C-alpha cells in the first residue's frame, strides 16, 4: 500500500515527542525525505517476500577480485547492510542509504562502490545466495542509484 504525508507526519511527530526533540527537527523536511525515499524504492519493497533492515554479517574472506581491496590473507569482515530485499521473483537486492551532500551520482558511486561490493560478497557468502542488484539511495539527491559490479 502507498504511504501518505499525514501518515508519515504522525509517525515523525510520535517519534519526536517520545524522544523530546520536537524543537530540534524540521518535521516537514523529514516527511518529504521519507516520501521521496519510499517512491524511489517502492518497486522493490511493495511486493517483497523479505525485507530486512540493518542486516548484520560477519564473514571470513580475502575479498579477492574486488577492485580497491587488497588483502593478502583471510580476514574477518563485518558490517551492516541497511536494507536487504528478496523480491517476489526471488531477486536479492541490497540498498544502502546515504545522506552525503553531493553534486552527482558519480560522486557517490566513486565513494561507496567498494563498500557495496564488499556487502554483496558478504551477503552472498553468509547466506549462500546471489545478489542481483546493489543500490545507493541518496537523500541528498533524492534518488535510487544502481551500482554496477
Phi, psi of 104, deg, nearest 5: -150, 160
pLDDT tens, the chain, 149 aa long: 556 767 766 766 666 666 565 555 676 777 788 888 888 888 888 888 999 989 998 888 877 777 777 766 778 888 899 999 999 999 999 999 998 899 999 999 999 998 999 899 889 988 899 999 999 999 889 999 999 87
DSSP states of 120-142: HHHHHHHHT--EEEEEEEETTTT
The DSSP 8-state label assigned to residue 58 in this structure reads E
pTM of the model: 0.80
For 19-130, where are the alpha helices, taking DSSP H only?
27-45, 105-127
- Residue 73: exposure state from Cβ atoms within 10 A (0-12, 13-18, ≥19): exposed
Amino acid at each position: 500500500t502507498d504511504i501518505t504525508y499525514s501518515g508519515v507526519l504522525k509517525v515523525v511527530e510520535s517519534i519526536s515527542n517520545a524522544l523530546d526533540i520536537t524543537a530540534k527537527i524540521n518535521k516537514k523536511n523529514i516527511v518529504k525525505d521519507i516520501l521521496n525515499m519510499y517512491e524511489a524504492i517502492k518497486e522493490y519493497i511493495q511486493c517483497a517476500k523479505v525485507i530486512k533492515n540493518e542486516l548484520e554479517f560477519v564473514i571470513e574472506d580475502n575479498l579477492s577480485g574486488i577492485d580497491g581491496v587488497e588483502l593478502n590473507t583471510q580476514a574477518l569482515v563485518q558490517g551492516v547492510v541497511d536494507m536487504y530485499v528478496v523480491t517476489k521473483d526471488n531477486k536479492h537486492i541490497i540498498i544502502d542509504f546515504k545522506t552525503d551532500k553531493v553534486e552527482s551520482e558519480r560522486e557517490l558511486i566513486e565513494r561507496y562502490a567498494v563498500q557495496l561490493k564488499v556487502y554483496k560478497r558478504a551477503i552472498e557468502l553468509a547466506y549462500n545466495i546471489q545478489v542481483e542488484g546493489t543500490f545507493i539511495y541518496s537523500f541528498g539527491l533524492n534518488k535510487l542509484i544502481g551500482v554496477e559490479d
